[in-house]
Amino acid sequence: MTITNINPTANSVVAPGDSISFDIPSGYASLIIKANQSAGDEYVYDTGNGGAQVGYTATVTDIGGGVNRFTLSRAAGWDKDPTLFTVTEDAATTTFSFYLTSTATYPEGMQPYNDKYEGSLKVSEGDAEVRGDVGWVDFDKDTFNVFDKGNGKVQVAGVSAPDPTAVHTDGSNELTPLTAKDSPASADVLVIEDSAAGYAKKKVLISKLPTGNDADAIHDNVANEVSVLTEKSNVVDSDLFLIEDSAAGYVKKKVKATNLPSSPDATAVHTDGSNELSVLVAKDSPANNDVLVIEDSAAGYGKKKVLISKLPSSSGDVTGPASSVDNRVALFSGVTGKILKDSSSVTEAAGIITNASATATQRLKEKAAAAATLAAHGDFWVRDDAPCVPMFTDDAGQDIRLGKQVAVFHDAGRWTGNAGTWVSSDAQSLFSVSNMADTLGSGADPAFSTNGNGWGGYLVPKAGKISDIYLQYGHSAGTIDGDVALYKFTTTEGSAIANPTGVLLGSKQTLTGATAWATYKLSQTGLADSVAAGDILLVCYKSVAFTGSVIFNLSAVIEFD
């Protein structure tokens, strides 16, 4: 290695802000330049670490002939007298120095004399002053700060003791004693001097640092990086591939599998293919829910599916089976109104509808009440009890529950004169009672007492519900005023009846004068009035005033469970 053209020449005097330069052959593989400053050796330039180091400026100029010229300067100025430069090219090292003040050589035995203060600082007890040609000052940096007053003078001020835990720009071996972290994390923080912001100190996350090769990355010059990855056997449309876009300078982009160009699908139907449908399995009887593929003329001919039942057809065109059975009822098939099917139900000449199927049933929807009556017609229907029950309603509006045992309690009597004596009683009454309290019209339930009005009763043989109560009476002439009703008395089998309290079934009927029979259906709420085995049904009445005679017939229809 040969260093030439050192400028200024070695051992010359330079100012702190001066640049120095030298020439060196350009064939080196490694070049390291150090400068010995007040803080110790500092790296000025290192080819293995990015060239010029922090705090230094290095300009490399190719001057031809295989020679590079290096021009170096220090941002803070040279501060060591003398400043020793060490240049190591590959394995060869060259050193040279510069001085910051002039020197004088004295013969042996001679004493130096006070030369002029050229480039030096003159300090007195009260102040510090500097000549106009001041070059540099060298104070103990840990003790004094020197401030340029801008008027040919400088100010010298003491400073506090250095922080032993601080990291300094001019200190060496300050980081090596710290605890090492072997596995830095992305969130760890480093201190940098931002070259884009005047080298101001900033923090940066390790995750934000420019990095070298990523071991998990896929490279353009490394083999067998993809073959070791987990394979996906069934690629779906939303899967992504990495491409380099030939239409955009081969920049990397992602693309969905569904957007990749592909080879023709051997099972697809194409717009330009022939004999693709003729080889398919035929369906001889298409159904309404079968699906066709169309191109929608109302939507840019985009492909859509359509049910056969939704296809447009000519008005009035109805299709059905190839043959039919005489008198069978036809039903619509589907919802198009264009297709008929056989119901298997036959309408006979007499208007009777039959169905020969062994599984045929007649199903009726439950409801609260029968429809309005129609003369000479009856209705079968299902009442919405829980569970629902079968009903028949005659043309007089009488509801009859089907499939239940029914008993009719009936009692009749004739009352003549003003004596209040019953002349006769129907044989269906099991017994007669004449000691019922006279409380029927007062709102209280009747009870047995020593005087009152009542007649024949019926002993209920099993549990059931009161379906209907009817009262029929007639009056020979004159006036009549009174109430009659049906009451239930609960008893215990084998026990004597002693002043029980009755429960009104339905409602009472107020009697009025009549010269002919009058029939009333006493109102009650559906089948809410239940009876149990051993209950007594008793016709009760309140004393009435009348002339002539009156005849009663009172009956109750009981449906047994």
Sheet strands side by side (includes 379-383) = 379-383, 389-393, 399-401
Contact 43, 50 (CB under 8 A): no
Please state, in angstroms and as integers, the Cα–Cα distance from residue 252 to each residue in 101, 236, 247, 301, following that order.
Answer: 61, 21, 11, 35
Phi, psi dihedral angles at 257 (to 5 degrees): -60, -35
Q: What CA–CA distance (Å, rounded) separates 370 from 351?
A: 23
Model confidence at 308, pLDDT cuts 50, 70, 90, reads confident
> How far from chain centre, in Å, is Cα 108?
98
- Angle of CA points 171, 174, 179, to nearest 5°: 170
Strand 530-531 and strand 464-475: pairing? antiparallel
CA distances to 444, 451, 456, 489, 502 from 499, rounded to whole Å, are 14, 12, 16, 10, 10
Nearest 5°: phi and psi at 28?
-70, 155
When comparing pLDDT for 273 and 406, which is higher?
273
The DSSP call for residue 208 is G
pTM: 0.29
Contact between residue 203 and residue 190 where contact means Cβ atoms under 8 Å apart? yes
Looking only at the bridges linking them, the beta strands covering 405-416 and 421-425 are antiparallel
| Residue-level pLDDT at 39 | 84
- Separation between Cα atoms, residue 54 and residue 58, nearest integer Å: 10
**pLDDT exceeds cutoff 80 at 70:** yes
d(CA 53, CA 47): 10
pLDDT of residue 466: 75
Average pLDDT, the chain: 74
β-bridge pairing 502-511 and 549-560: unpaired
Tell me the domain boundaries of the chain: 4-98, 122-158, 288-362, 405-560
In whole angstroms, give the CA distance from residue 186 to residue 194. Answer: 20
**Separation CA 411–CA 118 (nearest Å):** 154
* Predicted pLDDT of residue 200: 87
List all residues 6 or more positions away from 364 whose beta carbon is below 8 Å from its beta carbon: 380, 381, 382
* Contact present, 208 and 194 (Cβ < 8 Å): no
What HEC string does 365-419 produce? CCECCCCCCCCCCCEEEEECCCCCEEEEECCCCCEEECCCEEEEEEEEEEEECCC
**For residues 200 and 211, is the Cβ–Cβ distance under 8 A?**
no
Type of residue numbered 77: G
Q: Percentage of residues in the chain with pLDDT exceeding 70?
A: 62
Whether 452 has a pLDDT exceeding 50, the answer reads no
491-537 pLDDT, tens per residue?
A: 665 555 555 566 777 777 776 665 556 666 666 544 456 777 777 77
Least reliable range by pLDDT among 99-113, 290-304, 322-336, 339-353? 99-113
Provide the H-helix boundaries in 96-158: none
- pLDDT per residue as tens digits for the range 149-163: 666 666 666 665 566
The model's pLDDT over 197-234, given as tens digits with 9 standing for 90+, comes to 888 888 988 888 876 667 777 877 788 878 888 888 88
Ranked by mean pLDDT, the top range of 89-103, 266-280, 353-367 is: 89-103
Q: What distance in Å separates the CA atoms of residue 70 and residue 3, rounded to the nearest whole number?
A: 10
**Which pLDDT band holds residue 335 (cuts at 50, 70, 90)?**
confident
Q: Class of 405-560 per CATH? A: mainly beta
pLDDT number for residue 137: 47
User: CA-to-CA distance for 201 and 193, rounded, in angstroms?
Assistant: 4
- Helix and strand element counts for the chain (H, E): 0, 36
Q: Within 13 Å, how many C-alpha atoms sit on residue 463's CB side?
A: 2
d(CA 194, CA 192): 6
The CATH architecture that domain 4-98 belongs to is Sandwich (2.60)
pLDDT, residue 57, reads 94
Residue 60 has pLDDT above 80, yes or no: yes
User: Can you say whether the dihedral through the CA atoms of 202, 205, 208, 213 is positive or negative?
Assistant: positive
pLDDT at site 344: 76
Helix, strand or coil for residue 98? strand
Residue 118: its pLDDT value, please? 44
Q: Are strands 399-401 and 502-511 parallel, antiparallel or unpaired?
A: unpaired
CA–CA distance, 552 with 455 (Å, rounded to integer): 11
Residue 128's DSSP bridge partners are 123
Torsion-angle region of 290 (φ positive above 0: left; ψ -120 to 50: alpha; else: beta) = beta
pLDDT at 327 over 50: yes
pLDDT over 90 percentage in the chain: 12
Helix (H, G, I), strand (E, B) or coil at 310: helix
